[in-house]
Amino acid sequence: MALPAALKAPDGERAAFAWHAVGVQIYECRAGEKGDWGWQFVAPEAELYGPGGEKVGTHGAGPNWTALDGSKTLGTVKARANGQREADIPWLLLSAKSAGTAGKMASVTGVQRINTVGGNAPAKGCGAAADGGKRIRQGYSADYVFLITR
């Protein structure tokens, strides 16, 4: 699938490096605003791997990406596009800012989440109050392209 126009790197930014994530998307059964029950996203939990397959960091709530050198970046969603299949979480463009020490992630200004496989909440709802608070972990993988200022 080609990169949707809405997810292209903004002017002044370019791709610096890409890491592959393998992990889970965590959902919790909660009541919605209208009292209907459904799976609500809680957080990602994934390991990040470099081009040679070596572990280079982790991905977690915030969302955040933390390199093994201790550097970290936090993201905010700017745009999204549907994944290739219904089961795939959306592709994203996020703005990013450093939240850790000097290192690999310190100069990251944006993140693209692409090539997602899996991770969406089940199409079947979670029932009613009896299921409230129940959590599920949906396996996923994705590529994260980290952007920096040109």
Q: Are the C-beta atoms of 80 and 64 separated by less than 8 Å? A: no
Tokens at 38, concatenated? 């459904």
- Using the 8-state DSSP alphabet, how is residue 10 labeled? P
State the amino acid at position 6 in one-letter form. A
On average, the pLDDT of the chain sits at 94
As a whole number of angstroms, the distance between CA 97 and CA 139 comes to 27
Residues contacting residue 149 through CB under 8 Å, at least 6 positions apart: 12, 13, 107, 109
pLDDT tens profile 18-30: 999 999 999 999 9
Reduced to 3 states (helix: H, G, I; strand: E, B; else coil), residue 5 is helix
Q: How confident is the model at residue 121 (pLDDT cuts 50, 70, 90)?
A: very high
Distance CA 99, CA 76 (A): 13
* Amino acid identity at 32: G
- What percentage of the chain carries pLDDT values higher than 70? 99
Residues 74-116 have pLDDT tens digits of 999 999 999 999 999 999 999 999 998 999 999 999 999 999 9
SS3 (DSSP) at 7? helix
With a pLDDT cut of 90, the percent of the chain lying above it is 83
Pick from 39, 71, 20: nearest CA to 137? 39
Q: 60 in helix, strand or coil?
A: strand
pLDDT at 37: 87
